[in-house]
Amino acid sequence: MSKTEKLFTVAGTARNADGTVKARFANDLVARIKILNKAGCTDVNLTELPKPMTKLEALQYLQEQGMTGDAGYAVANKLAEKTKVAKKGEVKVQATKVSKPKSSKKTVSAEDILAAAEDAPM
């Protein structure tokens, strides 16, 4: 998810003038319907979302609502596309076992300690 991913309050589908059905997103239901009608779209089916959502969340919500036919197909395709893009941004982290450094146990004699103490500045 990008840092500033846009949130939408309206989502749904509409059939373009050429007959293709596309998923649509907006923040103003009435304005979006006017724009789609002016562009020659038919079968406009927009829904107010329960809360502001990203496109991915909105598509998941629409799919949960049980859209069928061309609208359901358009939502499923767009959801698959968005999911693929979302997964592309994920980073897989694989843990590797780090071996512990071998401790070098050295035997220190009393003479070594006394010699180090004599050499140390005071």
Output the DSSP codes for 63-95: HHTT--HHHHHHHHHHHHHHHHHHHHT------
How many angstroms separate the CA atoms of 97 and 122, rounded?
45
Cα dihedral value 16, 18, 22, 28, nearest 10? -20
Please say whether the beta carbons of 76 and 84 come within 8 A.
Answer: no
DSSP letter assigned to residue 17: T
Tokens 């598509």, residue located: 59
pLDDT category, 72, cuts 50, 70, 90? confident
Residue 56 has pLDDT above 60, yes or no: yes
The residues spanned by each domain of the chain are 1-122
Of 66 and 61, the structure prediction assigns the larger pLDDT to 61
pLDDT, mean of residues 20-33? 91
pTM (predicted TM-score): 0.62
